[in-house]
Structure 1
Amino acid sequence: MKTLMLSPLEKACLQWVSKGRTAVEIALLEGKSVIEIELCLGRALTALGAQSMMEALKKASGPDT
Structure 2
Amino acid sequence: MLSPIEKSCLRWVSEGRSVAEIALIQGKRIPEVEQSLARALEALGAKSIEEALRKANISISK
Aligned equivalent of 1:57? 53
Aligned equivalent of 2:10? 14
Root mean square deviation of aligned Cα: 1.0
2:23 pairs, out of 20, 27, 34, with 27
Query: TM-score of the superposition, structure 2-length normalised?
Result: 0.91
Q: Once superposed, which parts of structure 1, at least 4 consecutive aligned residues long, lie more than 2 Å away?
A: none
Distance 1:53 1:37 in 2: 13
Q: 1:58 Cα shift?
A: 0.4
List gaps (5 residues or longer) in structure 2.
Answer: none
Query: TM-score of the superposition, structure 1-length normalised?
Result: 0.87
Name the % identity. Answer: 60
Aligned residue pairs total: 58
Q: 1:33 Cα shift?
A: 0.1
* TM-superposition CA deviations, 1:29-59 (whole Å, max 9, x none): 0000000000000000000000000000000
SS of corresponding position for 1:51: coil
